Structure 1
Amino acid sequence: MAQDRTESDQHPKRLALRAFIGKRKFLAEPLYPGATNEATREKCQAVIDALAERLIPLADAPVDQRIFAKELTQTMLDFGSADSEERERAASYVEEVMDMLEIESSGGLLNMWAYGFDPAELLAKSPNVPPR
């Protein structure tokens, strides 16, 4: 049993998530000015890291979309009403996590969180845009 746990802990997706958790986030980058202060940066990072931590046990198999949506919704609630720049940067971190876990879509949740709307919904409702 101990060997199973060790092998599971060494799963590439788990290792990627642990490395992601270990990196500092919400620092200034070319297209992002960084969090407004260190307390905000730490809070934002803690929320994103908590999502990654909650997803580690799911890394061994394809992630159930409903479970991911529930965890992402919890993250959005935990994040609170931060600046739009922090929400956008947080959404890009979530996209990194999704890539690690091979999750193709958030079902529009990321767009709703970062921008307040889902562009796919707008396109679907537009009479001038042919359906996909």
Structure 2
Amino acid sequence: MEKSADGIRIANSTSIQHLLQVRNFSIRINDTYYTVEVPPILSDEEERIGSTERLTTLDDVKLKIAALYSALQIDEFKLSREQLLITKLEEVEIQLKPFDEIRIEIERECEIRASYVSWGLFMAMGIQTDR
């Protein structure tokens, strides 16, 4: 969740180009707020040159953001989150284990009954052909 300097919330889906136009905003990463002040990227004269250089400048900004992303140790956050999810998955599997045993028992009984029905029909067909 980001907020502009005026305290207006900015959607998470806002593109980097729009954030650069806002100039000053705060961003929350791992429940920590960081204030971002975007320096002027292009002067008035450079803005007239063309969009090719703007794209190069935006690529530089994207590289800086990628470096910031890795510097903030996002990977460690992902690993801790993954560990939490694995723990919850193990808890759910423990809760489902009795139901899985019941399911296996029901499947076994169904196979036995299906076998009885198959043999019964086979015998009935044999008796019918003897007459």
TM-score (norm 2): 0.24
Report the structure, 1 or 2, having the larger strand content: 2
**Structure (1 or 2) with the larger CA radius of gyration:** 2
